């Protein structure tokens, strides 16, 4: 419900490419990561518990966090992180696309109403995995490692509500969502993973 202070838009993102999990399935490693991201991750214990590592999953694999029903989710702050990445890209363009002090404005003036955003897989589809090589140049030469992540297939969708405390910020949000068709969300998004199309479903 909109308030006098906030403007809201309910959004559905439908992924056109697979989206990859980002959470480590090692609770100790993930705890350190959550701590390093504070205060972006407001409930450390909640997120560590949501990793769902009790399943027999290969150590080192990145996974989706789970809600209490065991369904894969994104957290609200992951979407805000996507917005920050978009705002940074648009600032290179400049002009009316630029949003000054974008990190502070996204942190303090743009919110996702839902804490946990469920990933709805297409009927009959299951969570899979995506393996790919990671290459790094080190002092000992080029090294190659195998990365492995849980993945949700194309056609997966999420629904959430964006709230902005200053009305004109919604214009930026709309442009950032459009940008998702080019540069998606989640692990390995620079390769095209996590790309999506979006729809305003506020009236539905």
Q: Which overall architecture, per CATH, does domain 7-22+60-200 show?
A: 2-Layer Sandwich (3.30)
Per-residue pLDDT of the chain (204 residues; tens, 9 = 90+): 455 668 999 999 999 999 998 776 655 544 454 455 545 555 555 655 555 444 333 446 788 999 999 999 999 999 999 999 999 999 998 788 899 999 999 999 999 999 999 999 999 999 988 776 666 666 677 765 567 789 999 999 999 999 999 989 999 999 999 999 999 998 777 778 999 999 999 987
> Residue with structure tokens 């949501």?
50
pTM of the shown model: 0.77
Q: How many CA atoms lie within 13 A of 92 on its CB side?
A: 5
Long-range contacts of 144-150, Cβ-Cβ distance < 8 Å, separation of 24 or more = 147/62, 147/188, 148/58, 148/60, 148/61, 148/62, 149/20, 149/21, 149/22, 149/61, 149/62, 149/63, 149/187, 149/188, 150/20, 150/21, 150/57, 150/61, 150/62, 150/63, 150/64, 150/72
Which three-class secondary structure state does DSSP give residue 8? strand
For residue 168, report the phi and psi dihedrals to the nearest 5 degrees.
Answer: -65, -15
The radius of gyration of the chain's CA atoms, rounded to the nearest angstrom, is: 18
| Rounded-to-integer distance, Cα 187 and Cα 71, Å | 19
Domain ranges of the chain: 7-22+60-200
């Amino acid at each position: 419900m909109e308030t006098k202070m906030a403007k809201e838009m309910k959004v559905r993102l439908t992924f056109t490419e697979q989206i990859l999990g980002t959470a480590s399935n090692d609770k100790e490693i993930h705890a350190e990561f959550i701590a390093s991201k504070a205060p972006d991750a407001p409930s450390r214990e909640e997120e560590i518990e949501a990793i769902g590592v009790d399943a027999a999953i290969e150590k080192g694999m990145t996974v989706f966090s789970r809600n209490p029903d065991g369904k894969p989710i994104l957290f609200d702050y992951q979407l805000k992180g996507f917005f920050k990445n978009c705002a940074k890209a648009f600032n290179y363009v400049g002009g009316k696309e630029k949003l000054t002090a974008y990190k502070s404005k996204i942190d303090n003036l743009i919110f996702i109403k839902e804490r946990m955003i469920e990933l709805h897989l297409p009927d009959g589809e299951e969570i899979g995995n995506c393996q790919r090589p990671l290459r790094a140049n080190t002092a000992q030469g080029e090294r190659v490692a195998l990365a492995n992540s849980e993945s949700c297939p194309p056609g997966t969708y999420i629904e959430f509500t964006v709230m902005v405390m200053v009305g004109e910020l919604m214009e930026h949000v709309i442009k950032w969502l459009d940008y998702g068709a080019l540069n998606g969300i989640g692990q390995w998004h620079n390769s095209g993973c996590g790309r999506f199309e979006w729809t305003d479903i506020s009236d539905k």
